[in-house]
Structure 1
Amino acid sequence: MAVKIRKLIVQVDEIRSEMGRPVDPPTRKALAMAVIDNPYAGRYAESLDELIAIGEELGGLLGSRAVEALGIAPDQAQSYGKAAIVGEGGELEHAAAILHPKLGAPLRQAVSKGAALVPSSKKIGGIGTAIDVPLGHKDAAFVRSHFDAMEARVADAPRASEIVVAVVVTDSGRPMPRVGGLQSHEIKGEDGLR
């Protein structure tokens, strides 16, 4: 493995009740995070190829860990998202290098298909910085019931020369959605939108 990982964190958020009403089946989100060494910390580099390769490696690793944490088959995953927090020794472009060029393809493999763009967020921050990982349906961006987010935070990261990379996968949308729009059973999954 080319990426230097200091720690991996996997957690599942399960909502069983909302506004006093049971949520059945519960809605579940799995967050998988890696705290990694930033090979470009403290210096400018024209090429960020090493981080692009790391993104590809982490897309599959974190996507698979999230699916496993939910205990579902890859094709049962419904939405996904990605985010990165760069320690103060790095720059925002380091997060973009990890998240955008190559992380998506292995994440899509981990969740079986994934026609829609993977929502993302990025920021620079110190130890304990939190970030919201935006979520959208993996096959159709217009499914409003799956517009959501999950907070990601590591108590001791990122250190100045680290990056926290987070992937979230869900097995459902928000609990009790009722704002209309395209429904899951209406998805064609051809263009990533509908």
Structure 2
Amino acid sequence: MEVRKTVIFQEEIAIENGSRLATPMRRVVVGSVIRNPLAQKPVGEDLKPLVDISVELGAKMTKTALSLIGEAKNLRAYSKGALVGLSGDLEHGAAMIHARIGMAMRSTLRRGRVIIPGNAKVVAAGTAIDLVFGPIDEGWDLDAVDTMPISVGDAPRPDEILLLVGYATGPRPHARAKGPDQSEVDALIKSFT
């Protein structure tokens, strides 16, 4: 596997909508632009090469993110995504974000009980993707749900994939749309029987 380039996006939000946040919220996204080994191959090719690449890059990019954002214990949300160049297939991106990368991310973080939101799409270079962040350990922590738009002007080229992982330290700025807790959801589900 050859990484053509690594991209890093960082933001720290201290003031939102004219009000200072009690604690600034930080987001870090790390991406790797790689050649797609399955570009222009017939549909039905074994996806294992992409899965293997995602595991290796998932751990590496998570380590890079942690070096920038701080200790894993301070994280509240995570995300993953893939942009596949036009000579690839949507399943190439799905193989990279849905198969095993999440386990590599969790293994590196040493936490992560909740599914990691992710999306993939086939695009021309420079197309944006909205990375969807979700809570790391508490599934109904809806204030941790957020998005961050990402684009790289020259990626992915037709025979490339841009693989991304993202982490955030806090809830959305001024988050206050409280959702149910797990016991409320469990009670509702139990009422169906």
TM-score, normalised relative to structure 2: 0.89
Mapped contact 2:156–2:162 kept (Cα < 8 A): yes
Provide the aligned C-alpha RMSD in A: 1.4
Tell me the alpha carbon deviations over residues 82-135 of structure 1, each in whole angstroms, 9 at most, x when there is no partner.
Answer: 000000000000001111111011111232310000000110001101101101
Q: Which has the larger radius of gyration?
A: 2
Task: Report the count of equivalent residues.
Answer: 181
Secondary structure at 2:149's aligned position in 1? Answer: strand
Mapped contact 1:11–1:69 kept (Cα < 8 A): no
Normalized per residue, which structure has more helix? Answer: 2
Deviation at 1:34, TM superposition (A): 0.5
Secondary structure at 1:63's aligned position in 2? Answer: helix
CA distance in 2, matches of 1:133, 1:161: 22
Residues 1-194 of structure 1: matches in 2 within 5 Å? 3-44=1-42, 45-70=44-69, 72-181=70-179
CA distance in 1, matches of 2:45, 2:24: 46
Paired letter, 2:162:
V
CA distance in 1, matches of 2:150, 2:96: 17
CA distance in 1, matches of 2:18, 2:112: 33
Deviation at 1:12, TM superposition (A): 0.9
Paired letter, 2:49:
E
Please name the residue that 1:189 is paired with.
Answer: none
CA distance in 1, matches of 2:90, 2:10: 28
CA distance in 2, matches of 1:79, 1:108: 12
Paired letter, 1:99:
I
Please name the residue that 1:190 is paired with.
Answer: none
TM-score, normalised relative to structure 1: 0.89
Secondary structure at 2:29's aligned position in 1? Answer: strand
- Structure 2 gap segments, 5+ residues each: 183-193
CA distance in 2, matches of 1:127, 1:46: 24
- % same residue: 33
CA distance in 2, matches of 1:75, 1:172: 12
Paired letter, 1:80:
Y
CA distance in 2, matches of 1:109, 1:73: 14
Mapped contact 2:38–2:45 kept (Cα < 8 A): no
Mapped contact 1:86–1:92 kept (Cα < 8 A): yes
Deviation at 1:182, TM superposition (A): 5.6
Paired letter, 2:159:
S
CA distance in 1, matches of 2:104, 2:127: 26
Tell me the alpha carbon deviations over residues 122-169 of structure 1, each in whole angstroms, 9 at most, x when there is no partner.
Answer: 100011011011011111221111110111211111000000011110
Moved segments of 4+, more than 2 Å:
109-112
Mapped contact 2:77–2:168 kept (Cα < 8 A): yes
Paired letter, 1:159:
R
Paired letter, 1:132:
D
